[in-house]
Structures are given as C-alpha cells and as structure tokens.
Amino acid sequence: MSVVAQAVVGTIVTGSVYGLVGVGFALLFRASKVLSFAQGGFMLLGAFVFYSLVTGGRPFLPAVLVTMITVAAFSAVVYVLIFARVAAREAFATSVATIGLAGVLQAAVGIRYGTAPLSLPDVVSTRAFRILGAVVQVADIVAVVMAVTVVAALVLILRHSQIGLRMNAVADNATLAVHLGISSARIATVAWALAGGTAALAGIAFSLRSAVDPVGVANIGLLAFPAIILGGLGSVGGALAGGLLLAGIQNAVRIGIGAGWVDFVSFALMLGFLFFRPSGLFGKAEVVRL
Amino acid sequence: MSRPHRATLKALALAGAGALVLAACGGGSDAASGGEYNWGINAELSGATSAYGKTLQQGIQAYVDEVNAAGGINGHKIKLTALDNGGEQSRAAANTTQLATAHRVNVIFGNVLSSNCSAAQPVAVRNKVPLACISAAEHNPYVFNIGPDNARAATPLFEAAKKVTGKSDPKTAFVYLNTLTDLALAKDVQAKAAGAGIQLATAQEIDLMSTDYSSQTAKVVAAKPDVVLISHTGPGLLSVLKGVRAAGIQAPFVWLDGTANLTSLASSTDENVYAMTVYSLVQPDATEEGAKAYINAVKSKIKDSSTLMGLNDGEAVMGYLSAKAYGEAMKACGYPCSGEQLKQQLEKLQTSIPGIVDAFGYTADDHYPFKNWYLYNVVGSKATLTQTLAAGSSS
C-alpha cells in the first residue's frame, strides 16, 4: 500500500463527500442567494434515516432512495412552511435563519437517536480492490459514484430541462425572471428539495466509511464551506471540483506538514479566496452596472 | 426610637451579620440547606459531547435515587442539581460559581472535557469545593479524577499488546487523537516503548476534526504491525480498522478507553478487536452485588438496560460508581459536610464495588482512583474479559 496512492484515493472519496454537500449550497445560492448553514443538519438527518432503514432490514438501494426522497421532501416542506416567509424579506435573514434550522435538526436527531456514534451493519460489500498501490473499498466507490451521478444529473437538468433553465434564469437575474413569469418561490422549493436530497446522500456516503457520527457529520458540514468557496458559490460542477481540490490540499498538508495544520490551511485558503477571488475557481463574477 | 424597636433592630442586625458570616464561609457547606446534602453536576448535557454528559448524569441520578429511597446518607437525602455547560469553558466556569454559591453544593461532578475541568478549577479552589472530573489535564488539590487517565496508559497498552499477540516484542503501530491527555500518552509511548520491548513501527496522530484518515491508515498498513494500539473515538477506530482490514492486515486492534464509545462496535463482526476500560463491563446477567445494584438502579433510566451495550453506554457506569464512592466518603464525613471536609475524606477513601471495580480510592498525593485497566475482546455486542492490567503511572 503506497501512502501517496492511498492519499489520492482518500482525496477522491472525501472530495466527493464535500462535493455532495457543496452542490446543495450551490443550488440554494443560485436560487435565492442564500448561504445555507442547514446542509450539515440535513446530512445528519439523512445519515440517521438511512441508519433506521438499514438496521430495520431494508436493502441498501431502497434505503438510499427512501432516505433521499424523505429528506428532500422534508427540506421542501420546511422551505414552504417557514423559509418562504423569511425569504420574502431578504437573503441575509434567510441565511441567518438556516443557523436556527441547523440547530433544530441537530437537536431533533439527538432526541430521537441520541448523540453517540452508531455503527452501521455491512450494507455494502466489505471487499476491497488494489489499484496502483492503493486499497479501494466498495464504500469508497459508492461515495464517488453517488457524487459523480448527482453532479452529472444536476448539470444535465440545469442545461437541458425546463426547470433547469428556469433555475438558471433566476440565478442570473431573479427580478427579470419573475417579470418573465417564472415563480421564484417554486424554483426555490425545487432547490431546497434537491439540496436536502444531496445532503442526505452525503450523510450516507460519509457514514459508510466509518459510523453514523454526529461530530464527523458536523465537521464535514463545516469543511464544505472552504470547498464551495474554492469551487465557486454558485457552481454545481465547481462544488465537486472545490471539494476534490480541498481534500487534496488537506491530504498534502497531512503528509507534508502534519495533521495539526489541516484546519488552519483549509480555512486560511478560504479567507484567501474570499479576499482575492470571491467568485472561486468556477463561479461567475457578478458585474454590477452603475 | 423606643427600646423595643432598638432591640428588634439589634436582633435583625445580628441575624444579618450571622447570615453574612455563613455566606462568607463559602460554598461547600450544606448546613443551611435544610437537612440535605447538596450535590452538583456541571456537565456537557448538550452539544457534540452530550452523549457522555447525559449518561454520566443518568448514572449519578441512579445512585442518588437509590440512596434517597433507602433514607439517604447519615439520615440525610441528597439533593442533586444539574447544570449544562454545553461543552463551553465559559459556561463550565459560570456553572461552577452558581453551584458553589447559589446551590451551596459540596461536590461537583462532570466535565467530560478536560478543558472544561480546567476552566472550573479556579472557581472550585476559591470556594473549596471538590471537582470530580471525568477528564482532567492538570493536577489540582480540589480536582479528583473519576474517568480514565490516558496519560497513564502507556505501560498497560504495552502489556495488552503482548497479551493479544502472544509475543514479547510485538511490532506495534500506534494511532492517537490530538487531545492534551492523548498527546501526553503519545510522548510516553514513544519514550517507553523500546524499554518495554515494544518495536514501535509508527505513531500516527489524527485530528478530532479530521474527515479523511487515509494517509495515516496507509502508514499503519505500510508498517505491517503485529498489533495496532489506538486511542480515538468510535468512528475514528472504525475508519482505521476498515482501512487496515481492507488492505489485508489482520493484526489485533487494542482500543484504549473504548468503552465510552462501545456502541460503535455494536455491528462489528471483527474478532480481533479489544477494548480497554478502567472498570469491569457490567454484564446483563451479573451476579456480583455491586453490578446487580447498578442494574437495578439504572434499569428505569437508560434505554436498552437489558443488553451489555445499553448498560455500559457512555459514562453511565462511571457516574454511578463514582457517586457511590463519594457517597461512602460523605458517610464518613458526617453531617453537615463542607467541601473542604469532603476533600479530606476523599483523600482517605479506599473502596470497591464488586462486579464494577476491585479498587477505587484516592490519596492526598494522587487524585486518580483507578488501580486497573480491564482488557476485553469485543465482538458485536459481546465482550469477554481477556486480562486485568495494573493501571500504570503518569510520567
């Protein structure tokens, strides 16, 4: 087993999980200019719903689908019942309100399942493959497949479907889109549903690698922020690219300097990007005509 | 002003002065509390580490209910006040002030995080109230450990490594968390390994915030160890274990202080995982007096009290056994018992709780109560005692 080869595999897998959380951030930002702090909460919810389903005897694939649909529906309902009213005021208020939502979700999950980490049974094969000196587990492959499938599907939807084109219109100019008869509330509802669903998948992918762990999920939710800033806040593809880039930098730091420097470098990088290139690597710089 | 009025004023002034003197005597006295002993909990009842704080509270509450139902200690019941520090140092310090001054407690249990115990220390010293901390990083006359001290675990870990491998000089990989006590342990492991006959092939630090363990796991695999010693959280253990097993290494894993996270292994089928703990795990069919009393005390309070995992979840056993031991110290202390008097009794305390700990006690020089580590082979929800090891000492 080569340390570098294994670090590359770790980068791809962890970057994929960051990407899965990050696409939700990107969708919500595009639809409403809201920076959601609740993605970690939805991720946690997804991990625990999945845990309930698989420990209740559901097979892997149906459990994934039911989890994704449940959390997506819940996320959409939360938007319609609560956030549509807040969003009517301003994006900043909605962003702040998502902090409250994250707290509520974490507390609710804690009441239902407790806050101790829970172990998942072997719902995917425990087989592993050796590729170029690295060991690749089936759980790793599942996480990468999930991320690539989700990002590819979202890119196709955004480019070629009616709803995708409407979402693009709202992202480009929300006011003009409304004048053209596009319901921004409906677009935001769809974005919230998609963001909830992708966060649930991230929760599953992360839990398959270790355990259903509230602390670990919170860490992923937090580290997804530097990832999306690197990739570009409004870019779905950029979220995955940013995730992979951040995970790669973290592993390089871990091997080259030491584990204690990983968080410092991650967040310093985020600050650097916000200062010098706030649109990230793949985001669109906003031009304001005076 | 007439004489009777003056007399009344004098009496009031004397009463007020008396009250002031009593208050100035500080916390730690239950003389003014109406016939009860006052105990406090200042723990992580919300936030990321609440699983530990809540189970600690359950264990302590179970003992308090048990003793109160039997008429109390020295005929006086215990009043337990629990405050949540949320894992924050500022709240830990503020709660200690509140418990010591407003609630006049004579002991404060809790502080799962050593940083919170450190934050509470100056307040406890000022008010002369013993702090019974699950995790303590520094020595202090008023701080008493009630949890495992990983910094003392190097020698027991080496003994465990030899036991599970059957070798006198096992090639060892060591993985540790970057907390204060684990960093001290890592230093000790690296300093003492060669002298103990251990071939330390690699030592890997993993941050608590880490989301990817692949590079450290690869270094463990590359070392081709006979045994992996690990001090980390349940998810941390599982991540490294899965990675190492996927690479085809079947070396035994010895997990230091694994029992607070025992539920992490509930679905494990790996037969080569061992967990070390400072107390005997309570089995559902336990016959020893102390373990049976624990099961009776907690069965209405904890979920799943009929299973090994449920009974030993988090810090419940630790809460119960420390409360029971402190109850013995209170009995010797009499009533009332100030915080200072309790501290003196604790420093003489030597007890055992059959089926949980063979020995638990402090001295004036050493506020660490455990004399042993217990090494268990854990497969799913089954744990088998493999060996009892001496506790070791701190460097």
Name residue A93's amino acid: A
pLDDT, residue B20, reads 44
Write down the pLDDT at residue B1. 41
For A:257-276, CB contacts with B below 8 A are 258-260, 262-263
Is the CB of residue B268 less than 8 Å away from at least one CB of chain A?
A: yes
Alpha helices in B49-179 (DSSP H): 50-69, 89-97, 114-127, 154-165
Distance from CA of A180 to the nearest CA of B (A): 44
pLDDT beyond 50 at A188:
yes
Per-residue confidence band for A1, with pLDDT thresholds at 50, 70 and 90: low
Helix and strand tally (H, E) in chain B? 12, 14
**Tens-digit pLDDT profile for residues A35-53:** 888 898 999 999 999 999 9
B342 contacts chain A (CB < 8 A): no
Q: Is residue B34 very low, low, confident or very high in pLDDT (cuts 50, 70, 90)?
A: low
Using 50, 70 and 90 to split pLDDT, how confident is the model at B36? very high
Query: In A, residues 21-60, which contact B (CB 8 Å cutoff)?
Result: none
Q: How high is the pLDDT of residue A75? A: 95
pLDDT greater than 50 at residue B4: no
pLDDT at A16 over 70: yes
CA distance B272 to chain A (A): 16
User: Closest Cα to residue B52, out of B272, B237, B234, B214?
Assistant: B234
DSSP B280: P
Confidence category of residue B3, pLDDT binned at 50, 70, 90: very low
Tell me the one-letter amino acid at A280.
G
Contact residues on chain B for A135, CB-CB shorter than 8 A: 221, 243, 246-248
Asked whether residue A283 is assigned to any structural domain, the reply reads no
Query: B183 to chain A: which residues are within 8 Å by CB?
Result: none
Domain harbouring A142, CATH code = 1.10.3470
Highest mean pLDDT among A166-170, A177-181, B294-298: B294-298
Q: Do residue B214 and residue A7 have CB atoms under 8 angstroms apart?
A: yes
Question: What DSSP string runs through B344-372?
Answer: HHHTT-EEEETTTEEEEE--SS----B-E
Does residue A194 form part of some domain? yes
ipTM of the complex: 0.78
Q: What is the pLDDT of residue B233?
A: 86
Q: Is residue A217 part of a domain?
A: yes
Q: Which whole number is the average pLDDT over B286-311? A: 90
Q: Is the pLDDT of residue B140 over 80?
A: yes
Mean pLDDT of A194-218: 89
pLDDT at B31 over 70: no
**Residue numbers of B between 145 and 204 with CB closer than 8 Å to A:** 178
When divided into structural domains, chain A yields a total of 1
Q: Which residues 6+ apart lie within 8 Å of A237 measured at CB?
A: A151, A155, A231, A282
Does residue B25 have a pLDDT over 50?
no
Closest partner CB to B217 (pick from A6, A121, A260): A6
> Minimal CA–CA distance to A44: which of A242, A210, A220?
A220
Q: pLDDT class for B362, splitting at 50, 70, 90?
A: very high
Which residues are CB-neighbours of B239 under 8 A, at least 6 positions away?
Answer: A209, A210, B213, B217
A13–B214 CB contact, under 8 Å:
yes
Give tens-digit pLDDT for B108-121: 999 988 889 999 99
Q: How confident is the model at residue A290 (pLDDT cuts 50, 70, 90)?
A: low
Give chain A's mean pLDDT. 87
In a domain, A165, yes or no: yes
Ordered structural domains, chain B, with CATH: 37-148+298-371 (3.40.50.2300), 151-283+374-390 (3.40.50.2300)
- A144 interaction partners in chain B (CB closer than 8 Å): none
- Domain of A122 in residue numbering reads as 3-276
Residue of A nearest to B249 (CA): A1
B215 close contact with A: CB closer than 8 A:
yes
A220 touches chain B (CB under 8 A): yes
Task: Give the number of other Cβ atoms within 10 Å of residue B225's Cβ.
Answer: 25
The alpha-carbon gap from B266 to the nearest alpha carbon of chain A, in Å, equals 6
Token pair in block for residue B57:
């509270």
Measured between beta carbons, the chain A residues lying within 8 angstroms of B234 are 116-117, 119, 211, 213
Q: Residue B143 and residue B231: Cα distance in Å, rounded?
A: 24
Can the peptide bond before residue B170 be classed as cis, meaning omega within 30 degrees of 0?
no
Average pLDDT over residues A101-110: 85
